[in-house]
């Protein structure tokens, strides 16, 4: 009985000093410990190829937007008609939205700085509206699309050349719900 | 929304008194008259043993700059004063002042009273008649010395039959970081006071007809909507709902506002009665109609429409009828501002990718250019007397506010630092 009690006390002490209690406590050796070289086999893990659905499920709305899941389109100077070369982008955006019918988006219309503040708000809204109408013509439910215009208040780039102006004349597709 | 104490309330501390015992004479000047030469010798401290020279010079310099800015008075240069005998308030040698071509003479005196208060007295004399014309006393806290000087300058304007403008204020948008808020400052750029604290874009401010409220556009609820900030209560009120609502202008003569709204699905101009809350759509056109602006008598509205392909300026009656096109040349015009006399429209035109301020004379149908070859110039707004305009320009890099006279002369930068734009000058209170 006495022996059993001693063992129990010793055991509990060991547990106390050794947080997880998986290993037995060792008395520190007098000489330097022998360093054992540990090597692991190099494993080549192949990342699983995620399907579009899996990506959609895994990513947050922020990440989806950051990764430009829906690509922006650009416009001609002073214009709000959809350019021919932008139609394939809208087609991709529409396809994606049709694939994920729970998605809701906000289309932001923007302008370059070569316009007045007031008129650009109207022009930016026309651009956002044109993009919404085009998506709707491809079968997307327009009720899932909200629009807003920032005019020239939120330029993407700050250059004063045609390329910068082109980049700033845009409609952005922001996912707001998935 | 933080409530902001507006320095305007402090004006109530100011009092003005006519100088008793001296008869006042009002002088009327006519349009087209040459500027009136005025001499203003340095102001005096009543008790020279007390500190106050800085206040004396603040009042003197502020008043001098106001009168110099007026285009009504012409200040006789100070260098000329050294050719004549020193100014003595008790025995004015009018012949001396006449000899340096001064028609009027302003003398000023400052008394430092108890509790940091000051009393400023100024007197105006007609040199050729060797007579006293009028005078005023102003009392207030010493931090309002600039306002006291502006009040004295306004009094000069009124006595010469002109509209006071020096105590008027300018509301504008200042950008700090990604935030844009509404500010108010004196007409000369001093004492900027922030009035909105949203973490969103606040823009396109305008004054209510009584100058007690600021009507502006804000993106704080995602889409552009109209808000009213009451300068006296510090309260903010959401006005519009449905679609985008922006670019509002308050009638100068009534409690009606006009603004752009897309609630019908397209940018159209609406009129709203602030008392009854009733709204009326004024334009019905599939093109963009925006940027409405009241005529000073409240009977007409200038606006921008793209109905003929490009943005042009139009005028319609306040009921929405009788629309006529104003700008016939150029492919881009916007941001109309109607002059207080109703005769002129200022607006922005883009010609060959240059943005300049133009003034269109509605009587002679002539157009003149106010700015040239200096960056992008936007959002003109008239001074209460119609002799000056404030506008924004990126001529020095970032957008800043500038003043310019009606004829394009005397361009002067008002603001520095962070980006400042979309100014609206107060109108005269009705």
In a domain, A21, yes or no: no
Q: Do A117 and B379 touch (CB under 8 A)?
A: yes
Q: How far apart are CA B234 and CA B229, in angstroms?
A: 7
The confidence band for B21, taking pLDDT boundaries of 50, 70 and 90, is very low
**Residue B111, burial from CB neighbour count under 10 angstroms (0-12, 13-18, 19+):** middle
pLDDT of residue A27: 59
Q: How far apart are CA A100 and CA A102, in angstroms?
A: 6
Residue A124, chain B, CB below 8 Å: the answer is no
Structure-model confidence comparison of residues B33 and A154, the more confident one = A154
Residue A116, chain B, CB below 8 Å: the answer is yes
pLDDT of residue A48: 74
Residue A148, chain B, CB below 8 Å: the answer is yes
Q: Do B244 and A150 touch (CB under 8 A)?
A: no
The bridge status of strand B256-261 relative to strand B279-281 is unpaired
Burial letters A7-36, b for 16+ CB under 10 A, else e: eeeeeeeeeeeeeeeeeeeeeeeeeeeeee
Q: Do B201 and A117 touch (CB under 8 A)?
A: no
Nearest to B267 among A114, A116, A122 (CB): A122
Residue A125, chain B, CB below 8 Å: the answer is yes
- pLDDT > 70: what percent of chain B? 92
Q: How far apart are CA A148 and CA A27, in angstroms?
A: 71
Q: Do B348 and A116 touch (CB under 8 A)?
A: yes
Architecture of domain B169-425: 6 Propeller (2.120)
CATH 3.40.50.10070 for the B7-159 domain, yes or no = yes
| Residues of chain A positioned with their CB less than 8 A from the CB of B248 | none
- Report, as an integer, the average pLDDT of B202-217: 96
In a domain, A63, yes or no: no
Question: Quick check: B18 pLDDT over 70?
Answer: no
Q: Do A118 and B204 touch (CB under 8 A)?
A: yes
Query: What residues make up the domain containing A159?
Result: 74-177
| B218 to chain A: closest CA residue | A150
| B286 to chain A: closest CA residue | A126
Q: How far apart are CA A169 and CA A177, in angstroms?
A: 25
Question: Quick check: A24 pLDDT over 60?
Answer: no
Domain boundaries, chain B: 7-159, 169-425
pLDDT of residue B132: 95
| Residues of chain B positioned with their CB less than 8 A from the CB of A122 | 260, 262, 267, 288, 290
Total domains in the fold of chain A: 1
| B311 to chain A: closest CA residue | A119
Give the CATH number, domain containing residue A100.
Answer: 3.30.1330.60
Beta bridge partners of B337: B346
Question: What's phi and psi for B118, nearest 5 deg?
Answer: -130, 155
Question: Quick check: A12 pLDDT over 60?
Answer: no
Reported as a single tens digit per residue, the pLDDT across B117-166 is 899 999 999 999 999 999 999 999 989 999 999 999 999 999 999 999 99
In a domain, A168, yes or no: yes
Residue A160, chain B, CB below 8 Å: the answer is no
Structure-model confidence comparison of residues A8 and A97, the more confident one = A97
ipTM: 0.88
Reported as a single tens digit per residue, the pLDDT across B306-319 is 999 999 999 999 99
């Amino acid at each position: 009985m006495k022996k059993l009690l001693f063992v129990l006390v010793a055991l509990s002490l060991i547990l106390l000093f050794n947080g997880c209690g998986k290993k037995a406590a060792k008395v520190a050796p007098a000489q330097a410990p022998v360093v054992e070289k540990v090597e692991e086999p190099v494993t080549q893990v192949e990342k699983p190829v995620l399907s579009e659905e899996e990506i959609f499920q895994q990513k947050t709305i922020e990440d989806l937007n950051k990764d430009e899941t829906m690509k922006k389109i650009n416009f001609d100077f002073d214009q709000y008609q959809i350019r021919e070369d932008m139609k394939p982008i809208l087609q991709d955006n529409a396809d994606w939205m049709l694939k994920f019918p729970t998605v809701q988006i906000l289309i932001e219309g923007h302008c370059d700085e070569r316009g007045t503040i007031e008129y650009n708000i109207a022009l930016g809204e026309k651009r956002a509206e044109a993009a919404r109408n085009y998506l709707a013509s491809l079968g997307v439910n327009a009720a899932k699309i909200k629009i807003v215009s920032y005019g020239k208040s939120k330029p993407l780039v700050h250059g004063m050349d045609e390329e910068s102006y082109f980049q700033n004349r845009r409609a952005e597709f922001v996912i707001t719900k998935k | 929304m933080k409530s902001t104490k507006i320095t305007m309330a402090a004006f109530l501390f100011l009092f003005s008194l006519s100088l008793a015992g001296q008869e006042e004479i009002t002088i009327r000047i006519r349009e087209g008259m040459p500027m009136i030469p005025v001499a203003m010798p340095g102001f005096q401290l009543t008790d020279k043993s007390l500190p106050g020279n800085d206040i004396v010079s603040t009042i003197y310099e502020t008043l001098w700059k106001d009168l110099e800015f007026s285009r009504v008075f012409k200040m006789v240069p100070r260098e000329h004063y050294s050719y004549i005998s020193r100014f003595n308030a008790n025995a004015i040698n009018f012949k001396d002042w006449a000899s340096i071509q001064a028609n009027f003479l302003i003398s000023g005196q400052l008394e430092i009273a108890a509790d940091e208060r000051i009393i400023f007295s100024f007197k105006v004399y007609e040199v050729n008649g060797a007579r006293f014309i009028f005078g005023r006393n102003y009392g207030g806290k010493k931090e309002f010395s600039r306002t006291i000087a502006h009040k004295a300058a306004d009094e000069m304007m009124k006595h010469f039959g002109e509209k006071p403008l020096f105590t008027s204020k300018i509301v504008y948008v200042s950008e700090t970081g990604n935030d844009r808020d509404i500010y108010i400052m004196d007409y000369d750029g001093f004492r900027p006071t922030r009035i909105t604290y949203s973490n969103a874009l606040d823009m396109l401010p305008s004054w209510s007809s009584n100058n007690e409220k600021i009507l502006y556009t804000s993106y704080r609820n995602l889409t552009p909507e109209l808000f009213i900030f009451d300068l006296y209560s510090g309260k903010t009120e959401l006005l519009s709902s449905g679609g985008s609502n922006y670019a509002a202008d308050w009638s100068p003569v009534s409690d009606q506002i006009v603004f752009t709204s897309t609630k019908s699905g397209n940018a159209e101009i609406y009129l709203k009665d602030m008392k009854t809350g009733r709204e009326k759509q004024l334009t019905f056109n599939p093109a963009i109609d925006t940027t409405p602006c009241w005529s000073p008598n409240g009977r007409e509205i200038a606006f921008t429409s793209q109905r003929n392909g490009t943005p042009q300026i139009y005028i319609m009656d306040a009921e929405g009828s009788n629309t006529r096109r104003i700008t016939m040349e150029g492919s881009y015009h916007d941001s109309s501002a109607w002059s207080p006399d109703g005769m002129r429209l200022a607006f922005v035109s883009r010609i060959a990718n240059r943005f300049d301020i133009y003034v269109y004379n509605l009587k002679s149908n002539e157009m003149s250019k106010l700015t040239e070859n200096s960056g992008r110039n936007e959002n003109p707004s008239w001074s209460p007397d119609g002799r000056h305009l404030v506008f924004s320009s990126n001529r020095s890099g970032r957008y800043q506010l500038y003043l310019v006279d009606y004829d394009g002369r005397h361009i002067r930068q008002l603001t520095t630092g962070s980006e400042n734009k979309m100014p609206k000058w107060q109108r005269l209170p009705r």
